[in-house]
Structure 1
Amino acid sequence: MSDTATVSTASTSDLLATVGTFLDLVAAPFTLPRSRILVLAHGDQATDAAPLTSVRVCRAEYERRLSDCVVFDRLSVAGADGELLAVTAVLPQRIEFGGGLVTLTFAGPHALSVGVAAGTSAELRLGVPGGSTTAIALGGDAAASVSLTVGEERVVTTSLFGADDADGHAAHLGATETIWRDWLDRCPRVRPDLQAMTAFCWWVLGANIVELPGQGSARAVVPSKIGYVGLWQWDAYFIAVGLRHGDAELAREQLDLAFRFPTETGQLPDVVHDEGVLASSDDLPPADRETLRAHGSNVADPSIPVPLTKPPLAAWALGKILAKSTDVDAAELASWADTNWQTIARSQDWWFAGSDLDGDGMPEYGHPYSSGLDDSPIFDGPFPLASPDLGAYLVLQDRLVAARFTASGDALRAAACTARADATLGLLLEMWDAEAGRFLSHAGDEIVASYTAVSLLPLLTGELPAETAATLVAALTDPAQFGTPWGIPTVAVGDPDFSTERMWRGPVWININALIVDGLDASGYPDEARQLAEQTVALVIHGGGPNEYFNPVTGQKARTATTSFGWSAALYIDLAVRLSA
């Protein structure tokens, strides 16, 4: 890759066309910001070498599989001769059938519009799951366009428009293009070799915007409309860090949602979704609740709810967003920031008061959900689990909150946060095993043998002894540890639990790489930080896009990973901007 700091001068039209090269209707759907509607390739054609002639229309919903949310199992178009027209182009603003004879676009966030070119006849065929197919004539003496409205309960209203109303479809085409042009206008301009993927990643963030009706139609940038339709606290932080480079207002909205529902004790919820929040096992359906409690803390009373949250990276995200928030009045921004710093401070207090489950001064994870690393082998044993990543996050957050209190003149609270950070750092350093050359997790007196990437995250503190930091940095390039061709595996290569494919048990995750880039910078290793950043953006390009996680040997999407994944897109953008400075 080039090391030049020259940035791309690509126009918005260039970016629209560039994004279209990624929209395969498999890894990347046809959708619209704020819409729940997705258009994807029909299942039996998704991997077929033959031309695509049928698509399916789904509605993205919280905690429901996309296969359970199909509105039209098949949407296809037949020409005047009765033969199905192939999909010949997919752009952010439209899908073209038959070289543009028929086009599909959005008619606002809740409807699709299908229209035919002047003087053309075609037949729209709509198949519902397990049901019959409806044929609608388009063109000629019949309808010139059709509007398909998909309601919240996936109820479909079909409206036909005569030839005189064909301009309505043209207006929808124009409006949809305007939405995407406005969004791509904000796309950061980066190094030319990184610009195409940056445009696609910026599109992914726009595509993943949904409205949360239960939250006053707030705009949430969800992890993925293909599988993760809600605002997970951790994801919101990473996504906001990428959004800040082009839409600081939307970045701030993500924190507003993540911080909107603290408990009385200050705990922040794991998820904010359409119907409320997920903050404890009591917020889950009964069957899930019992399963969760059965695998929850063996120190906390198993008869009471298990708190569910995400790692304390709120101050890390807020600080980055504030540095880019030049779009609002300084007094307004200061008031907003102060409110959020107070929320973060209360959340930090909760970790020590409510999640130090064995009372030794170092908070623990009471359940895998609260770690963000749900399937990591460090959680194969008992709970609660003291883990070096959590210790590092807590030290970093207390340092940042202390700096905020110092700046605002609250010396007493600043001193308390500093003292707590010092104590936590001391406990974190006690988790270092010099003989093994890594930080160890433990559940009570039981040491966790699995060697995972959580051992590397204490670099974030920037306060490790020089020899300790050097040992961790050396592990990054050791092929028996974390030196794979495509970045940092989440489990060390030489560990018995290592897998190239299993979620959190070996694949590369962009957020872990990005955090370690920050850790290397904080620990005095800027060259290694840049090298890892370059390797990470190269991985996303090589792997075809911002997938949820990647095989560390091939650099391709792991088989079960979600595509068009929000934090991978956001952190690619953040790294691309950093590398282009």
Structure 2
Amino acid sequence: MTVTDAAALAALAGTHLDLVQAPFTLPRSRLLVFREGEGVRVHTSEYERMLAECRVLDALVVRGSDGAALPITRVLPHRVEFGGGVVTLGFAGPAALTVGLAEAGAAGVTIEWTTPDGERAHVGLGADATAVRFGVAADRRVGAAASGTHSADLAESEALWLDWFARCPRVRDDLQSMAAFCWWVLGANIVELPALGRARAVVPSKIGYVGLWQWDAYFIAVGLRHGDPGLAREQLELAFRFAGDDGQLPDVVHEHGVLASSDDLPRADRENLRRAGSAIADPAAPVPLTKPPLAAWALAKVLEVESADDWAREQLAIIRRSQDWWFAASDLDHDGMPEYGHPYSSGLDDSPIFDGPLPTTAPDLGAYLVLQDLELARFAERFGDADAAAHRARADRTLERLLELWDDERGMFHARAAGAEVASDTVVGLMPLLTGRLPGDIVDRLLTALHDPRRFGAAWSVPTVAVGDRDFSPERMWRGPVWVNTNALVIEGLRASGHPELARALAEETVALVVRGGGPHEYFNPITGEKARTATTAFGWSAALFIDLAVGLSA
């Protein structure tokens, strides 16, 4: 791809950078710039801290010679333009911002700023001072100083972004603008975590999700593989790096360590669980926290675009131990079917299947375990380094347990809360399609459910709780809104179960939803197709999976 092509894709991404839902930032930087009044405000991005707690500058305003604020007139990945480009804001490395004149000699421009402690300051720009650099220390204190390297700093940031966009996948014309924005999201969400050294973690979002969540890493890697397979492999390697001695993979790797047990929960998470009336807020004994077993599926996807056999063998050893952990340590009632011991381990924290007592036997977990053993069997046959027959036999046994969750009268797979059937009709009941081994009559019933407007045939599919279910809410996280990752898994399930045309139709609807909603948000209202009110924006797995779906639809 030429520099011109990369610049064109960067400009396409820039049309979506509104500084409200998509902040101005830089790969590896913790600084976020948002619109605020007549100018912008600046925050840092930190694990388990709200933006309001991480303010750096409450306001930064550019004023012309008449004292009026110069409006923001254009945003590109590497610069923000004020007053038609008279003044530009950019990065001077990951920990500093630079604001300066586009051309030396312009007179009468003033930069004003206000700090969170109420300090106000300003500096005039002209022949003597063409730019001011704002350096941000680890304690969020800001130092401002005149700078003569504004143009060079902007050029360095532009080169970084052009290198990133040179890797952006090319897709259908009607999807290219959103794909460019989604590729920006993935680049913007690159951070360094102290626990990982210089390794690059693509976090779910710099707005509130600064860490490497295991499940997110899998989905993000699936999208990254189309443009940067090395970075995709890096996400999986980071997710696997901190496996426990017993094989358990942690839920989160963050800048203070890992989240692998209920004892590791941040205070805010415990308070949220208490408000919800959950007994799991303060369990009597530590509860392991992990994420659903899709590691082998993600590994297989990443290796489709670029083989790395020696590296893959190393990762497979970790994945096999993790798969064994589910059966050894998370089969809590010893019936051969592992359970979720905590809602967080499901990835669907707020799903109504967790309204009852724990542990929860869930059809999605059964499906993922079957899929993972089948993938591990295929890897064993490919590399000749493990017993493929043992993996297939365990997949058969798990499938038998999974089919016991089928309710033929209601036409659904149901979950069980501490052995009691859960009535809620949720998207987890569609995940057994992933096995590709369901009886034909069950597949037919699930397809009927997908198209039934009283169940999953919403205006925008697939709602995470059936529209006619008493627990359905179009706005509340996992209790109704559409999530791109669950849609992607249903699409995979339709393909695996012999319905590629239906899979393609749902893929088209999913990318159309992201376009309609204005970006790769965390989740979407299934009635309106718009961003749900409380959903995080510029969300990593939504961006990555949009790219994956767009590439598939463009082939």
Code of the residue aligned with 1:131 in structure 2: it is G
The corresponding residue for 1:5 is none
Code of the residue aligned with 1:579 in structure 2: it is L
The corresponding residue for 1:136 is 123
Separation in 2 of the partners of 1:147 and 1:378? 51
Structure 2 residue 313 is the aligned partner of structure 1 residue 342: no
The corresponding residue for 2:438 is 464
Structure 2 residue 187 is the aligned partner of structure 1 residue 206: yes
How far 1:492 moved relative to its partner? 0.2
Q: Secondary structure at the match of 1:469?
A: helix
From 1, 10, 17, the equivalent of 2:11 is 17
From 20, 27, 40, the equivalent of 1:26 is 20
Distance 1:416 1:280, change over 3 A: same
Separation in 2 of the partners of 1:250 and 1:213? 18
Alignment of 1:212-361 (within 5 A): 212-285=193-266, 295=278, 302-325=283-306, 333-361=308-336
Q: Secondary structure at the match of 2:246?
A: coil
Separation in 2 of the partners of 1:290 and 1:108? 37
How far 1:198 moved relative to its partner? 0.5
Distance 1:395 1:235, change over 3 A: same
Q: Secondary structure at the match of 1:563?
A: coil
Separation in 1 of the partners of 2:285 and 2:552? 45
The corresponding residue for 1:160 is 146
Gaps of 5+ in 2: none
Q: Secondary structure at the match of 1:88?
A: strand
Q: CA RMSD in A?
A: 1.9
The corresponding residue for 2:176 is 195
From 491, 500, 506, the equivalent of 1:517 is 491
Distance 1:10 1:311, change over 3 A: farther
Distance 1:10 1:119, change over 3 A: closer
Counterpart contact for 2:354–2:417, Cα < 8 Å: no
The corresponding residue for 2:90 is 105
Code of the residue aligned with 1:78 in structure 2: it is R
Separation in 1 of the partners of 2:335 and 2:280? 16
TM-score normalised to structure 1 length: 0.92
The corresponding residue for 2:99 is 114
Counterpart contact for 1:543–1:557, Cα < 8 Å: yes
How far 1:477 moved relative to its partner? 1.1
TM-score normalised to structure 2 length: 0.96
Equivalences, count: 551
How far 1:445 moved relative to its partner? 2.9
The corresponding residue for 2:517 is 543
Structure 2 residue 135 is the aligned partner of structure 1 residue 149: yes
The corresponding residue for 1:48 is none
How far 1:69 moved relative to its partner? 0.5
The corresponding residue for 1:403 is 378
Identity of aligned residues (%): 64
Cα offsets for 1:18-58 (capped at 9, x unmatched): 1111010001110111111110011xx4xxxxxxx210011
Separation in 1 of the partners of 2:324 and 2:280? 20
Code of the residue aligned with 1:243 in structure 2: it is L
Counterpart contact for 1:549–1:561, Cα < 8 Å: yes
Gaps of 5+ in 1: 1-8, 46-52, 327-332
How far 1:406 moved relative to its partner? 2.5
Distance 1:554 1:10, change over 3 A: farther
Q: Secondary structure at the match of 1:100?
A: coil
Separation in 1 of the partners of 2:316 and 2:6? 37
Counterpart contact for 1:32–1:109, Cα < 8 Å: yes
Distance 1:403 1:375, change over 3 A: same
Code of the residue aligned with 1:388 in structure 2: it is P
Cα offsets for 1:206-244 (capped at 9, x unmatched): 011111122112111001111111100000000000000
The corresponding residue for 1:393 is 368
How far 1:410 moved relative to its partner? 4.2
How far 1:444 moved relative to its partner? 3.1
Counterpart contact for 2:168–2:183, Cα < 8 Å: yes
Structure 2 residue 111 is the aligned partner of structure 1 residue 124: yes
Q: Secondary structure at the match of 1:76?
A: strand
The corresponding residue for 2:545 is 571
The corresponding residue for 1:90 is 75
Separation in 2 of the partners of 1:197 and 1:290? 37
Code of the residue aligned with 1:133 in structure 2: it is R
How far 1:112 moved relative to its partner? 0.7
Separation in 2 of the partners of 1:287 and 1:490? 25
How far 1:415 moved relative to its partner? 2.1
Q: Secondary structure at the match of 1:25?
A: coil
Structure 2 residue 353 is the aligned partner of structure 1 residue 368: no
How far 1:291 moved relative to its partner? 7.9
How far 1:559 moved relative to its partner? 0.3
Cα offsets for 1:470-496 (capped at 9, x unmatched): 110111111011001211000001100
Q: Secondary structure at the match of 2:377?
A: helix
- Deviant stretches of 4+, over 3 Å: 285-298
Counterpart contact for 1:282–1:289, Cα < 8 Å: no
The corresponding residue for 1:62 is 47
How far 1:380 moved relative to its partner? 0.6
Separation in 1 of the partners of 2:130 and 2:347? 50
